[in-house]
Amino acid sequence: MKIVLQRVSEASVIVNGQKTADIKKGLLVLVGIEDADTQEDIDWLAGKIIKMRIFGDENDVMNCSVQDIDGEIIVVSQFTLHASTKKGNRPSYIKASKPEFAIPMYENFVKALEKEFDKKIQTGIFGADMKVSLLNDGPVTILIDSKNRE
């Protein structure tokens, strides 16, 4: 699994003119799923995301997690995170999972985050044309690949 983790002052998702998610301070998590992903990837990422200390403490040092600040989270599926740009100028998405595999993995990922966070996670709609708005705070943007745990 690949994720883009963004610290936000606010974020929202609109699908077909309807707002499906809306948060203030917290995290926007874009997630891409591939066929090699397992429950182990989900569990590792969920723990990492919830405990990631990227929010300022009383001294404005990045020492607090989203849990510590009582923040919120939006998760948005994004198959384009698995784009291959090796050949030509048109990305290939062959590594991205098909919906039959990706949807249950995405749903399990959201559930795992909710369990770690002990709070409801807001989402976009898998496979929909989504309009994602965010005010990146910092900016702080972190890329995490569960297959390359650096």
Active-site option among 20, 80, 123, 141? 80
Check if 80 is active-site: yes
At how many degrees (to 10) do helices 39-51 and 99-117 cross?
40
pLDDT at 46: 97
pLDDT at 100: 97
User: 41, 50, 21: which is closest to 126 by C-alpha?
Assistant: 21
Q: One-letter amino acid identity for 78? A: Q
Span 117-137, average pLDDT = 96
User: What is the spatial distance between Cα 136 and Cα 38, in angstroms, rounded to a whole number?
Assistant: 30
3-61 pLDDT, tens per residue?
999 999 999 999 999 999 999 999 999 999 999 999 999 999 999 999 999 999 999 99
**Which residues is 57 bridged to in the sheet?**
none
pLDDT at 13: 98
Angle at 31 (CA atoms; ends 30, 35), nearest 5 degrees: 165
pLDDT at 143 over 80: yes
- The band of 149, judged by pLDDT with boundaries at 50, 70 and 90, is confident
pLDDT at 119 over 90: yes
pLDDT at 44: 97
* Average predicted confidence (pLDDT) for the chain: 96
Q: Model pTM?
A: 0.94
